[in-house]
Amino acid sequence: MSASSTQRLTAAALDSWKQVLGRIDQILTSSSDEDFEREVAPGRNRVRYLVGHLAAVHDRMFALLGVGERLHPELDAEFLENPDSHAAGSHSAAQLRAIWAEVNAKLTAALEQLTPEQWLDKHTAVSDEDFKKEPHRHRLSVLLSRTNHASFHQGQLRLTR
């Protein structure tokens, strides 16, 4: 693949990432604090849980992609290691909005600094030996999967409107 082809593909992937984040931003901007307690469907995750979950997953991308240190590892217990308990939670809607914005702004800025060639380097969860066997386990594949993940949850968030 030529350098210009790689550049176009990585730019398209990053644009898709930004588009999905922008759509979620629009939902969160138009949501009240009370809306954060709404369930996607009866007995399912609440908006607050989905926002915290996405922020935690995106926060983990710093280390996974080797682009920086995590900002909010404290989110893991509540939003990754346990299902939505429908309890009050340790973060307010305002705090979750701020964490979401902070993580994604800093992560996106770091991602924008990667060269097209760096996108095709392995991510940190794969060994050199495994990467030789599975060269598709690169940073770009992580971005694509996390964009898809965020897009899925964006659809759930829309169900609460």
CA nearest to 156, candidates 79, 49, 60, 75? 49
**Residues 6+ away with beta carbon under 8 Å from 133:** none
pLDDT digits (tens, 9 = 90+) for 4-46: 899 999 999 999 999 999 999 999 999 999 999 999 999 999 9
Average pLDDT value for residue range 55-61? 98
| Reported confidence tier of residue 2, pLDDT bands at 50, 70, 90 | low
pLDDT digits (tens, 9 = 90+) for 73-118: 999 999 999 999 888 888 999 999 999 999 999 999 999 999 999 9
pLDDT of residue 1: 61
Measured in residues, the chain has a length of 161
Structure tokens at 48: 């607050």
Q: Spell out the domains of the chain, with CATH numbers in brackets.
A: 52-161 (1.20.120.450)
pTM of the full structure: 0.95
